[in-house]
Amino acid sequence: MSRLSYKTLASGFEATGIYEDRRSRFIAQLTHIVSEDEANDYIAGVRARYHDARHNVPAWVLSDGRERCSDDGEPSRTAGMPILEVLHGAGLADVCCVVTRYFGGTLLGPGGLVRAYTAATQIALMDAEKNNSLVEMRLVTRVVLSVPYTRYERICHMVSDSGGKIVRSDFGAEVLLAMDFKSGEEAAFVDALRELGSGDLVPTVEAPRFDTF
């Protein structure tokens, strides 16, 4: 995956945005998801909540690159794709947005529909920002290392100097450290370990993963 970071919503928070045009009412709902099944469950829940609405238009993006959208009966590319483009433009992933439309009796035309679905999604995004519910996820690499007590403080300084952070310290016969780095920055720390030790400081570098940092 090429991306090094993305934004998502805090788990358990639902952002909302309401936009009206010529008596048509567009209600955007935006939430955190981590799988296609979660997206489908959320979409089904919104459709049940607004069962009397003419359209419930979904779009979702996962951090692994999978994404999907539907126009749910609106003219092609006037509803789902505009929602998806807002999510892309904001750098969001692991999110699902459903925009519910109550028809107001006046046709808005393709341009009007694109503007309305875009605006409702943008308002929901603003609601998430206002509630401090946007979370940045970064590609993080964990390094695990066992160090003797005589080198513990020195290693702690090296972690800090390399831009990392110690997330766990287990004190036994030696100190077992778990340290997180922004992916790519762990290399400088590993190189510094080689210079410090004589082959006795052997780190385990785990596979990169997305996490807060």
Give CA–CA dist 55/202, Å, rounded. Answer: 58
| 48 and 98 fall within a common domain | yes
**What sign does the CA torsion over 85, 14, 139, 182 have?**
positive
Give CA–CA dist 200/198, Å, rounded. Answer: 5
The answer to pTM > 0.85 is no
Residue at a domain's end among 98, 132, 166: 132
3-state secondary structure 12-56: CCEEEEEEEECCEEEEEEEEECCCHHHHHHHHHHHHHHCCCCCEE
Locate 64 and state its tokens.
Answer: 């692994």
- Predicted pLDDT at 3: 73
- Predicted pLDDT at 84: 98
- Predicted pLDDT at 66: 95
Domain total of the chain: 2
| 115 and 144 fall within a common domain | no
- Predicted pLDDT at 1: 42
- Predicted pLDDT at 4: 81
- Predicted pLDDT at 11: 92
Residue at a domain's end among 84, 101, 132: 132
CATH code of the domain containing 150:
3.30.70.240
Residue at a domain's end among 132, 167, 197: 132
| 57 and 101 fall within a common domain | yes
| 45 and 124 fall within a common domain | yes
- Helical spans, DSSP H, in the chain: 36-49, 80-89, 109-130, 149-161, 186-196
> Average pLDDT for consecutive 10-residue bins of the chain (213 residues)?
82 96 96 96 97 96 95 95 97 97 91 97 97 94 95 94 95 96 94 81 93 86
Helix (H) or strand (E) holding 97: strand 95-102
| 117 and 48 fall within a common domain | yes
**What sign does the CA torsion over 98, 91, 39, 65 have?**
positive
Range of the domain at 184: 138-211
